[in-house]
Amino acid sequence: MSMGLCRTAFAEDTGREEKQAYQAYEVIEDEITSLTDEKTYDIELDYSTMDEAAVCLVRMGESYLTMKIIDDSGNVIATVGAADMQPKRWVYIKNPRNDSAVAHYTITMSGQNYIQDSGQFRVIYGNKKYVESMISGAENATPIEWFTNTEDNFFHTRYTPNGNECWYRFTAEKSTATVTLLGKHPETRFKIVQADSLAIEYDSNDPINYGAHKSKFCGAFSCGEKDKVNNLNVGQEYFLIIYTPEKFTPLNFVEDTINVSVGMPHMAMGMTEWIHASKQITVSPSAYTDIVIPVGDFGDTIPHNAYATRIDFSSDGRYSDIEYWRFMTPSGTYWNKLGKFGISMAIDYQKDADASKNTRVEGDWKIGCKASLSTKTIVPRIYINYMYELGD
């Protein structure tokens, strides 16, 4: 259904719709209706009220969009895309002249791809000082996909809220969603609220959810917010609201991105160091000698939610001392396949399955090995490749 063109002006201090001489920013709401559809808008930027303007694009549907900004000489001065990983974008435009006159620009909107009845968008333009307000609030709740780990369908906010709320909407595909936010600012929090009633399902700022504040295993980021939100209704729409309880910096806009996923846990690759057995064992060519090697350090360097994908075996002896080896996982009841010494062995890992079906790294690993030619005394050691939940 076409939403049509709608323009709205917002006042500087109150944020309410008002008719007055100076407006902090204006909004264009419209939609692309096909892959070949193109929309054109003429806008004015009044530099008598600002030194620099911002033009923002918010993708409100699932179609990927491109916005071009053209000056009054016909030059394309900026191209901005709102796709899956960055659904909210903005660009700054300095005063093209030394005077404080109104500058005229043309905006064209087109689709990089088009999904039927899902080409809605918002273009917001005005004083750069208010760029966070321009892209915040429920009116800018852009749709996000349920994160599956089978593809990289997480996204980046490209900014950290600092006094306003950053809204997204999603449809629950399971009754439990893992929400993972990774960023630079530990003040960041999130809420999950029902889209129809705005009833709060979860708030990471609630003291009972203190464990959601993360400072380890955050990948390239320094901190995060992560927790499982239970009792969601499958097929129901919810809002994800990213916010900070209060301003944490006097800056008007904090352009530090947050990596966001909602759905399955967001996994990353890791590996242990070599983990040695606590004692020597004597191995012979005639039978396997087994030993238990405990793995885990209470979440210090190995995440609690780490799941094994491959295991390697070695010892402090010569490479030729051992001919075969085998292993049993911490929760296993049988020996896994025999391996030639020096060959690592894969462990079944299903990235789209429930984590309980995978093998946790933490626990007691049982290792068995057989000497090649003669009895030897060795200290076995293993290291394990794994996938772990970011923000563990």
Rg of the chain over CA atoms, in angstroms? 28
Question: How far out from the chain centre does Cα 25 lie?
Answer: 29
What's the CA gap between 181 and 160, in Å, rounded?
A: 11
**Predicted confidence (pLDDT) per residue in 254-312, tens digit:** 999 999 999 999 999 999 999 999 999 999 999 999 999 999 999 999 999 999 999 99
- Residue 79: count other Cβ atoms within 10 Å of its Cβ: 11
- Report DSSP state, residue 250: S
- Report DSSP state, residue 233: P
DSSP H/E element including 386: strand 380-389
Q: Which residues contact 206 (CB under 8 A, 6 or more apart)?
A: none
Q: Is 253 exposed, middle or buried (0-12, 13-18, 19+ CB in 10 A)?
A: buried
**Predicted confidence (pLDDT) per residue in 44-64, tens digit:** 999 988 989 999 999 999 888
What per-residue confidence (pLDDT) applies to 5?
A: 56
Per-residue pLDDT band at 81 (split at 50, 70, 90) = confident
- The residue among 288, 242, 252, 285 whose CA lies nearest residue 87 is 242
Residues 45, 125 contacting (CB under 8 angstroms): yes
What's the CA gap between 302 and 321, in Å, rounded?
A: 30
What per-residue confidence (pLDDT) applies to 198?
A: 96
Strand 166-171 to 142-143 pairing: parallel
Residues 284, 370 contacting (CB under 8 angstroms): yes
Ramachandran angles phi, psi of 174, nearest 5°: -140, 165
Strand residue runs (E) in 119-221: 120-127, 142-143, 155-156, 166-171, 177-183, 189-194, 200-203, 213-214
| Reported pTM | 0.86
**Predicted confidence (pLDDT) per residue in 137-181, tens digit:** 999 999 999 998 766 678 889 999 998 999 999 999 999 999 999
Q: Report residue 265 as tokens.
A: 């846990």
- Report DSSP state, residue 55: E
DSSP letters spanning 20-37: -S--SEEEEEEE--STT-
Per-residue pLDDT band at 352 (split at 50, 70, 90) = low
Residues 387, 267 contacting (CB under 8 angstroms): yes
Mean pLDDT calculated for residue range 37-49: 93
Most confident of 3-12, 240-249, 311-320: 240-249
Report the mean per-residue pLDDT for the chain.
89
User: Looking up tokens 């990089």, which residue turns up?
Assistant: 112
Query: What sign does the CA torsion over 98, 99, 104, 110 have?
Result: positive
Beta bridge partners, 76, equal 70
What's the CA gap between 340 and 343, in Å, rounded?
A: 6
**Predicted confidence (pLDDT) per residue in 176-219, tens digit:** 999 999 999 999 999 999 999 999 999 999 999 999 999 999 99
Ramachandran angles phi, psi of 66, nearest 5°: -130, 130
Question: How far out from the chain centre does Cα 132 lie?
Answer: 20
Domains contained in the chain, CATH given: 1-130 (2.60.120.380), 136-264 (2.60.120.380), 269-389 (2.60.120)
**Predicted confidence (pLDDT) per residue in 87-140, tens digit:** 899 999 999 887 778 999 999 999 888 888 889 999 999 999 999 999 999 999
- The CA distances from residue 185 to 33, 84, 188, 317, in Å, are 39, 23, 6, 48
Q: Report residue 181 as tokens.
A: 């936010």
